[in-house]
Structure 1
Amino acid sequence: MLYTGPMTQMDTTRKMILHAAVERILHYGYSKTTMAEIAKDCNMSAGNIYRFFASKLDIAEAMARKFNEEAYETFATIAARKVSAADRLREIFHYELARTYSAIDEDAKILEVAEVLSDERPLYMNDKLATERTYLVKVLNDGVASGEFRPIDNPDVVAEMWQSALMKFRFPQLFSKLTLPKLQREIDGVMDLLLAGLSPGATTPPPWDGVTAATEAACAVTSEMIVNKKLNADQ
């Protein structure tokens, strides 16, 4: 049975629980933190905490949503700037690299939370990427309107491809042990290539038909999957 009191009271209690959970998780780690311990920190019963959060995983997601609120505000500010679209795209992704790298570098226990959400809450991660794309699409449309970029038939798909190409630079410690300066050098190189593909006169190559032939010799199962399934990361 869910808590049905006034929203203001519920919000206050949820914030108290979330604050206590963040402190405990950052000190002991996600796996070593229990709901009963969080409840004790809040001077409530273990059963009562479940009226506000159904599971520890829900608390981890709430932590991540809080972490991302500031990012969305920054994305909006960057997207509205009166500078070139290319500069705005670079700034958005450099900001996200520095923000997520620093979060883990300053407290490695954040990495555990990121890994858990990536594995167990893929829909949350997809929602986050979809929200980010709204700002990327605005910048892409601005670039097309000003003549800085070539015409784009589907800016949302192009934004998604940018995210895919730059996924390594989001919580980068999940993927590599490179230092921040080396990652910044890499992300600039990748964005140089992506921006070249958006420049006036650039053309999209025809669809490649060799994916099945390239995989079937090494892995027939993978080849069959590629032929028979269309995977949509947003579902």
Structure 2
Amino acid sequence: MNIAIDPHDIKKERILDSAYNRFLHYGYSKTTMNEIAGDVSMSKALLYYYFPDKSQLYVAVMRKLANSYLKKLTSNSDGFHNLEEAFIFQIDTQHDFIVTNYNFFDFFRLNEQNLPDAIWEIIEELHSAEIELLRNAIVKEAKKKVIRPVENPEAIADILLDALHGVRVRAVSQKKKFFPGKDQLEEIHQKRLLLVNIFVRGLTS
């Protein structure tokens, strides 16, 4: 049975794809709604029908990116051989996501003190998914008796993510910024991998 595709959905996806490419290559501040409308051969009035302003369009693109990140994050949830592999997977997946989409996050740098609630809701959803990934890995290893029994694996996962976040905060606080510079990303990545190694040894000792 053929399922009809809504033309509105097709147009919306074209807008999101165009907006993503614009935000990625030129950043939020240097992208205009006129340019996006031109990319999809659409009048500016029609573009505003779908997205009333640029910030709402950005949030919609962020939602689409977040869904892609969540899909990748859960794609291998049962395939880890050990706890450290699961933790490294989370770090590497997040690192690759930020590096690949670095210019897209220009919006974060411009609005670091006043991000919309919709963005924080997406960030919280991603954080919860990361906690769930790490929690499940901890429970699995505890059942195998590879690590000591853990009363609250979710809290342990949350503490680890807080510690990993602290590595980023420390790196950017020296330059009084919220979002790290591109030249800082690999340093942050390596420090996080070292922290995970220490963290796992603490659980297994």
TM range (shorter): 0.7 to 0.9
2:106 is the alignment partner of 1:112? yes
TM-score normalised by L of structure 2: 0.75
- 1:83 Cα deviation from its structure 2 partner: 0.6
How many pairs are equivalent?
Answer: 189
2:177 is the alignment partner of 1:149? no
Alignment of 1:127-166 (within 5 A): 127-166=125-164
Please point out which of 17, 25, 30 is paired with 1:32: 30
RMSD: 2.9
Structure 2 spans left out of the alignment, 5+ residues? 173-178
Alignment of 1:38-53 (within 5 A): 38-53=36-51
Code of the residue aligned with 1:111 in structure 2: it is F
Deviation digits for residues 130-167 of structure 1, max 9, x if unmatched? Answer: 12222222212112211122222332222222222112
Alignment of 1:179-198 (within 5 A): 180=186, 182-198=187-203
Higher relative contact order (CA 8 A, sep 6+): 2
Alignment of 1:193-212 (within 5 A): 193-199=198-204
Alpha-carbon distance change, 128 to 58 in structure 1, aligned in 2, over 3 angstroms? farther
Code of the residue aligned with 1:65 in structure 2: it is R
> Which residue number in structure 1 is paired with residue 74 of structure 2?
76
Separation in 2, partners of 1:38, 1:98: 26
CA contact (8 A) 1:169 1:183 kept: yes
Separation in 1, partners of 2:51, 2:5: 15
CA contact (8 A) 2:142 2:148 kept: yes
Alignment of 1:12-27 (within 5 A): 12-27=10-25
CA contact (8 A) 1:85 1:140 kept: yes
Please point out which of 100, 123, 128 is paired with 2:98: 100
Separation in 2, partners of 1:73, 1:29: 25
Deviation digits for residues 49-95 of structure 1, max 9, x if unmatched? Answer: 23322432232223233333443333223321151122222222123
Q: Which is higher, the Rg of structure 1 or of structure 2?
A: 1
Structure 1 spans left out of the alignment, 5+ residues? 1-5, 201-235
TM-score normalised by L of structure 1: 0.67
Separation in 2, partners of 1:10, 1:155: 44
